[in-house]
Structures are given as structure tokens and as C-alpha cells.
Amino acid sequence: MSARREATRQRLFQATLEEVSAHGLDGVTVDRIAERAGLAKGTVYYNFGGKNELFSAFLEWGVDRFAAMLREGAAGPPREALSGLIRAELQFIAEYEDLARLLLSESWRTNQAWEATALRIRRQAIDVFTELLDAVRAEGGMRPGLDTGVAGSALFGMALTAALEWRTLAPDRPLEEVHAVLMRLVDDILRAERA
């Protein structure tokens, strides 16, 4: 992969992101992406082979950003890590709202073309929650028998849905307020489990 080619791919990813944000998923056309990237339409086909392949690669690119942000947030001992993780999830959704909506919307659709990518989105995100819950259990802070797989997806979805509601209904509200509500619920759970 030549450096020139790699630069071209990055420009196309960025242009795709901007198009999705500006015109929504339905407004994404190869024509517009190429134009925004300042490239010829054929270049998309030369580099990715087709619209689906471009989109699939773009989603992976987006997932990697998402996953990197989550991993960065989830540092420290379990309880702090959970707090940081949820804050990172809220931050990502606030900063990259369009990308987030796209990733999450696609991750639940039934779509053969991007199935692998969709699965990857969920795994990247949910597994971090599950692993933290396992760490809590390993520390002895949890009654036996909890299915941390289900609980991990539950906590992920909890923050996700609250975040999207926040962006839709009260985007001016400070992130920390939403974070506080979610952490109160999480702390409730941790406390009850420890008891």
C-alpha cells in the first residue's frame, strides 16, 4: 500500500463522515463523497471496489475511533474504570453524534453486507463492560451467579440509550449530569451486589 494510496483512503473516510453528518445515511452517494474528497468518482472504485466496500471500511474506521475512546476512558480500578468508560461513551456520542447514530443504527440492522462490521462494533464496546464486571467479581465485590455477558450489554445499552435521548431532547445539558444519573444506577448495583 503506497503512502499516496493510504492518504487517498483517509480522505475518502473523512469525506464519508462529513457526508453522513451533513446529509444523513440516505444522502451518501459515491458522487458526493468523491466530490467532497476532491477526488474522481473512479478513485473510490479503484481503492475500495464499490460503495459497499467503502462503507464497510468506513464503519470499521469509525469503530476503531469509538473503541479507542472507550479503552482510553476505562482506566484504573474497576469502579473508576466503569465511571470512565461510561463517560467516554457519553463523550463519543456527544462529539461524533452522527457517526455514533450511524454505528449504532447499523449495528442493529439486519444487513448481510456489513454484518461482520456490525458485530465488531458491538463486541468492541460491550466486551469492555463485560470485562470490567468480571474484574469486579474477581475482587469479590459480587454475589455469585451473575451472567456478566448479559449484564455487560445491559450496561452498555443503558448508557447508549440515555446518551441518545440526551442529545435528542436536551443537548445543552452538561454531560456530567447525565453521567451522574447513570453512575448512581451503576453504584446502586455495585453496592447491592457487595452487600
Partner DNA sequence: AATGAATGAGGCTTCATTCAT
Partner DNA sequence: GATGAATGAAGCCTCATTCAT
Q: How far apart are the first and last CA of the chain?
A: 56
Q: Is 192 in the site for a second copy (CB under 8 A)?
A: yes
**Nearest distance in Å: CB 4, DNA:** 4
Query: At its nearest, how many Å lie between a second copy and the CB of residue 115?
Result: 10
* Contact pick of 5, 6, 105, 174 for a second copy (by CB under 8 A): 105
30 in contact with DNA (CB under 7 A)? yes
Task: Give the binding-site size for a second copy (rule: CB under 8 A).
Answer: 49
We find the least distance from the C-beta atom of residue 76 to a second copy, in angstroms, to be: 22
Interface pattern 52-91 for DNA (x via CB under 7 A)? x---------------------------------------
Q: Pick from 108, 116, 139, 174 the residue near a second copy by CB under 8 A.
A: 108
158 binds a second copy, rule: CB under 8 A: yes
Tell me the DSSP string of the chain. --HHHHHHHHHHHHHHHHHHHHH-GGG--HHHHHHHHTS-HHHHHHHHSSHHHHHHHHHHHHHHHHHHHHHHH--SSHHHHHHHHHHHHHHHHHHTHHHHHHHHHHHHS--STTHHHHHHHHHHHHHHHHHHHHHHHHTT-S-TT--HHHHHHHHHHHHHHHHHHHHHH-TTS-HHHHHHHHHHHHHHHHHHHH-
Q: Tell the smallest beta-carbon distance from residue 115 to DNA (Å).
A: 17
Q: How far is CA 84 from CA 91, 161, 167, in A?
A: 10, 17, 19
- Pick between residue 7 and residue 119 the one whose CB is nearest to a second copy: 119
- Judged by beta carbon distances under 5 to 8 A according to partner kind, the member of DNA, a second copy, none in contact with residue 12 is none
Q: Which of 36, 120, 122, 137 binds a second copy (CB under 8 A)?
A: 122
- Contacting residues toward a second copy, per CB under 8 A: 24-26, 98, 101-102, 104-106, 108-112, 119, 122, 126, 146-147, 149-151, 153-162, 164-166, 168, 177-178, 181-182, 184-185, 187-189, 191-193, 195
